[in-house]
Amino acid sequence: MPVSLLDHLIRRRRLITEGVGATIASAALASGFLLRFEFAVPPAYIPLLGNALPAAILLKLAVFRAFGLRHLAWRHIGFADLFRIVAAHTAGSALLAWTLWVTLGPGFPRSIYILDFVLCLTLDVATRGVVRTLYETRLHPASSGVRRVLIFGAGKAGVMLLNELRTHPAVQYQVAGFLDDDPAKRDMRLHGIRIFGGRADLPQLAAKLAIDEVLVALPRASGSDITAILEQCHTAQVVAKRVPALSEIIENKILLDQIREVRIEDLLGRPPTRLDEAKLAGSLCGQTVLVTGAGGSIGSELCRQIARHSPAALIAFDHAETALYEIEQELRTERAGLCFHPEVGSVQNRARLEEVFARHRPAIVFHAAAYKHVPMMESHAFEAVKNNVFGTRNVARSAANWGAQSFVMISTDKAVRPTNIMGATKRMAELICIAEGLRSSKRLSQPMKTVAVRFGNVLGSNGSVIPKFRKQIAKGGPVTVTHPDMRRFFMTIPEAAQLVLQASAMGLGGEIFVLEMGEPVKILDLARKLIVLSGLRPDEDISIEFSGLRPGEKMFEELSAYEENTVATPHPQIRVFSGPAPQRAMVDEALERLRDAVRARDTAGVVMVLKEVVPDYNPSTSVLRTALQSRARSVVA
């Protein structure tokens, strides 16, 4: 059937459906008479057929309309539709039988009632099935560009994917079969497509069936499962692509647009983030929101997520004008109606902050600006203090002075029992954040709600290990890992930003929220997975070397002894740190001494103040050496 004609018919499907229904009803009744009398209807029964046909057409069309059969999509008919069709035909045939019994009496052959029901139902289902088959078949003409694929996962997502592939003309995929590790599914068929076996059968099947790609439709698969499938695909020399979680499919509607290459976060196997969208929308919609460090990995993602919830205005503050320009261009393109204000400046410049807060009067402030590179800050302690400690106080005080309702600070797992300057300064910034909230409660009628949100490493962030590994792999190796046993917590940038927003919406003030980071990941395993993801073999194509711990680095990070020192919240992926609240007077006095030490360029003084405020801070050897050298120089002077 020509494509244009089929499309024309589908667009007028309601009228055509009723016409087809009338034809089927009359054909079924007539065929029932023919079968009942073995294709030789006695003349005495022909008037009965003539009287019954109008009743069959009118009554069944009325019942079919009542059951909504004319609204069913022909190209997407499924089991749920089949139940409705069976119910409609049962009701229609029953009503027709009762009407004919009352009007025509017992002389009407009773066997025809059953024949009419069976034939009418069969013809209806068959007609709809033929139309669906025609629609799907014409979308896949013979073409040398068609890619043969296997769908890995014979579950709900796999069936959805099969249906999408069959009904979208722009996709040149031909599904050759399913794979699934459940042995009970082997050799079964889904919509006519065979389930051949599990992952162990993949290389052999790929060669036998001339497979070009494997589409992994396992939204809940663990990282180890995805890694194993990916390794089998590499062995078979076929491309592997991933179908996203069903929640993403429902949100974004079009499944095929979301088929993508397997990413490193797939191999880590983190569960999808569950958000209270209503609560988020209520806290952000119509509000003026300011984000510091808006050009960074977390800051820019916060801007993207906040923009989704229709703020009155979004102010992006950063000292890096190039990164700020990039997020500005992105949001102006993708969120044309957003009131967006980029502001260049440093959190160390209190006067500049006052200008920005006076101009925009933000109600909500997300403070993501910070120096985060651990080894770099070990050799730049004064800059870490000025930015992470005093920069945080500058932003918090400006926010309180200009009437901000909420102040949210982005913290880190390195603030827990810190062994480096970066972690110690971020822990002190947490204390400042809470102290400034307490200060505002003493002098403001509507105190500023302050919270901190603590989490570990984010995949692919600026300065993280993932971009470093990718560059090393691109150059042919070696990939350098500090230690074979080093472990870190990881989450994706969007996940971290979403949970920060969720924590801010549930905060009452004074809390330090801790995001659930899952199990820590061995950096060595991460390096191996990235090599596999690149289509190469660890230790064969790409070597791995160990470079040793850098100054200030821990072997294992912690999130405040996660279960011991935190309490649950209504959100399963967010907990609250239950440590003691800071003393404002102690924090203020420590800040004055810290400022004096920075002005005097006294590393020992900085370390001593940080150690007093953060008792579990354990300075690294390199910092202690620098502190002793600075103190020795001051004594000599």
Indicate if the pLDDT at residue 253 is higher than 70.
no
Question: pLDDT tier at 561 (50, 70, 90 boundaries)?
Answer: very low
Q: What is the pLDDT of residues 129-177, one digit of tens each?
A: 777 666 655 544 444 567 888 889 888 888 888 877 776 655 677 888 8
* Per CATH, domain 147-262 is 3.20.20.70: no
Q: How many residues does the chain have?
A: 637
Lowest mean pLDDT among 113-122, 260-269, 569-578: 260-269
| Residue 590, CA distances (Å) to 61, 221, 342, 611, 615 in order | 84, 49, 34, 10, 13
Percent of the chain with pLDDT over 70: 81
pLDDT at 156: 82
Q: What is the pLDDT of residues 355-388, one digit of tens each?
A: 999 999 999 999 999 998 888 999 999 999 999 9
pLDDT at 416: 85
Indicate if the pLDDT at residue 562 is higher than 50.
no
One-letter amino acid for residue 193 of the chain: I
Task: Look at the block and give the residue holding tokens 């402030």.
Answer: 365
pLDDT at 142: 44
Q: pTM for this one?
A: 0.67
Residues in Cβ contact with 37 at an 8 Å cutoff, skipping those fewer than 6 apart: 45
Alpha carbon distance 525, 610 (integer Å): 34
pLDDT at 4: 52
Candidates 368, 537, 372, 520; CA nearest to 453 is 368
Buried b (16+ CB within 10 A) or exposed e, 229-263: bbbbbbebebbbebbbbbeebeeeeebeeebeebe
pLDDT at 288: 95
> What pairs with residue 150 in β-bridges?
177, 214
The DSSP code sequence of 280-329 is HHHHHTT-EEEEETTTSHHHHHHHHHHHTT--SEEEEEES-HHHHHHHHH
* CATH 3.40.50.720 domain span(s) along the chain: 147-262, 290-580
Q: Considering only CA atoms, give the Rg of the chain.
A: 34
The DSSP code sequence of 460-528 is T-TT-HHHHHHHHHHTT-PEEES-TT-EE-EEEHHHHHHHHHHHHHH--SS-EEEE---S-EEHHHHHH
Lowest mean pLDDT among 29-38, 74-83, 225-234, 528-537: 74-83
The predicted model gives 29-39 an average pLDDT of: 84
The predicted model gives 461-473 an average pLDDT of: 76
pLDDT at 437: 79
In terms of C-beta density within 10 A (0-12 exposed, 13-18 middle, 19 or more buried), how is residue 206 classed?
buried
What's the start-to-end Cα distance of the chain, in Å?
96
Indicate if the pLDDT at residue 463 is higher than 70.
no
Question: pLDDT tier at 577 (50, 70, 90 boundaries)?
Answer: confident
One-letter amino acid for residue 504 of the chain: S
Lowest mean pLDDT among 149-158, 337-346, 348-357, 623-632: 623-632
* Per CATH, domain 290-580 is 3.40.50.720: yes
Percent of the chain with pLDDT over 90: 22
In terms of C-beta density within 10 A (0-12 exposed, 13-18 middle, 19 or more buried), how is residue 608 classed?
middle
Phi, psi of 578 (to 5 degrees): -105, 30
Q: What is the mean pLDDT of the chain?
A: 81
Q: What is the pLDDT of residues 472-508, one digit of tens each?
A: 888 888 888 888 888 777 777 888 888 888 888 888 8
Indicate if the pLDDT at residue 420 is higher than 50.
yes
pLDDT at 444: 60
Between 392 and 266, residue with greater pLDDT: 392
Between 612 and 110, residue with greater pLDDT: 612
pLDDT at 556: 65
Indicate if the pLDDT at residue 519 is higher than 60.
yes
